[in-house]
Amino acid sequence: MLHQQNLTVNAAGHLALAGVDVLDLAREYGTPLYVLDEDMVRERMELYVAAAREHLPAGSRPYYASKALCCKALCRMAGEEGMGLDVVSSGELYTALAAGADPADICFHGNAKTEADLRYAITERVGLIAADGEEELLRIVRLAGELGARARVLLRVTPGIDPHTFAAVNTGVVDVKFGVPIPGGQALAVTERALGLENVDLAGFHCHIGSQIFDAGPFLLETDVMTAFLAQVRERTGYTASVLDLGGGFAVAYEETDAAPDCAGMIRAIGQRLLERCREYDYPAPAVLLEPGRGIVAAAGVTLYTVQNVKRVPGGACYAALDGGMGDNPRYALYGARHSAVVADRAGEAPDCSVTLAGRCCESGDLIGENVAIQTPRTGDTVAVLTTGAYNYSMASNYNRVPRPPIAALRGGKARLIVRRETVEDVAAYDL
């Protein structure tokens, strides 16, 4: 049941995250509440940094994909633990800079960056901009010229790989909105063009094949395709890339039945394959960038809710209606993504009920999960939904004008808020 390794049941029979009784947290901060085990976040960051240092060529480094959970505290943690930052919007870039990130450590992504995004990134001299195609490259050239700057860019390419995870986050196949396809020769043609442009320095290439990748297989395929592409580019143009960004996508276990992925092992395998291929092509090994998001924060987080009422539909499901829902966790509504849950008050008891965890929004699709095995819920119980550190807060909305929950971070057994609770005044603050 408690597959998340930082969860235990304490002497009172309550759920504890990183040793802290979550009922105390619910009392102190109210619900719904995102709770993040900061010690685990930092450990995960260290693990990726160490694996990159140990197994990948010199200069290699993981960048935290801040889309998974973006706030100033997380950007600070990434900097302190030696990670770069992957941002995809002016909002994420602003947050990173406001948190004191060194612009040189930032890579700016996105398939539809606006002029304002690009201007901001170029003006702040971010370390890398991943250009999504030829049009964007030309826009960067023009803006960099206007701003009297040079931009260091990666070209985002699509290697044509299907990692067999879920379709909504599949990004490496050819017919997607991201990047320039390698199959068919478009990526090579755009690279040739890029090498002749003013105001930009092509540092190398970026690709991202998808999310929730459990084993090294898809990454090895990606490494094969990308190194073959590097060799082809060099043969045609004489250009040698110094950076190869292989994106993110390292899986996490959401349910007991999910295998616990060995990300350090995957990185070791990537490093070995890269060196083999570079030797074969007699190609100087490029610095490898990785962009884990979920792998850093997902398993560090839980969300606490209070059960508002329980209803059993004769011949139907048992519904536990929560004080949150798709507004703070839209993953089930969007992708059918499954999260485990626990009644925190009776976490030591075996799950004896199959429940639909319902949200508070006025639509029937507002569910956190169906057929969730959980202790029989009662009104007033605190329910913890597990593995919610990634893509929950960052995808939250104010649907039905519900204020978004705060985030409490746990470090060394002590809690502090890193994002405060929104108020109804916050929600109406932009109304004129």
Task: Output the smallest distance, CB 252 to ligand LLP, in A.
Answer: 9
Best CA proximity match to 165, nearest among 251, 235, 223, 97: 251
Residue linked to tokens 């960056």: 113
Give the nearer residue to ligand LLP in terms of CB position, either 211 or 356.
211
Q: Give CA–CA dist 181/343, Å, rounded.
A: 47
Give the nearer residue to ligand LLP in terms of CB position, either 68 or 307.
68
Contact 171, 232 (CB under 8 A): no
Residue linked to tokens 């090294």: 216
Contact 137, 153 (CB under 8 A): yes
Q: How far is CA 114 from the centre of its chain?
A: 22
Report angle CA 129, 135, 136 to the nearest 5 degrees.
Answer: 20
Give the nearer residue to ligand LLP in terms of CB position, either 64 or 305.
64
The secondary element (H helix, E strand) that includes residue 219 is: helix 217-237
Task: Output the smallest distance, CB 387 to ligand LLP, in A.
Answer: 11
The residues assigned a catalytic role are 362
Residue ranges binding ligand LLP (CB under 6 A) = 65, 68, 86, 109, 169, 171, 208, 211, 247-250, 291-295, 331, 390-391, 395
Which residues, at least 6 apart from 57, have a Cβ–Cβ distance to it below 8 Å?
271, 274, 275, 285, 286, 287, 288
Give the nearer residue to ligand LLP in terms of CB position, either 241 or 343.
241
Task: Output the smallest distance, CB 165 to ligand LLP, in A.
Answer: 9
Give the nearer residue to ligand LLP in terms of CB position, either 298 or 343.
298
Task: Output the smallest distance, CB 395 to ligand LLP, in A.
Answer: 6
Task: Output the smallest distance, CB 208 to ligand LLP, in A.
Answer: 4
Render 224-262 in DSSP notation, one character per residue: HHHHHHHHHHHHHH----SEEE----B----STTS----
Q: Give CA–CA dist 400/316, Å, rounded.
A: 27
Contact 14, 23 (CB under 8 A): yes
Beta pairing, strands 33-37 & 20-21: unpaired
Give the nearer residue to ligand LLP in terms of CB position, either 140 or 343.
140
Task: Output the smallest distance, CB 10 to ligand LLP, in A.
Answer: 30
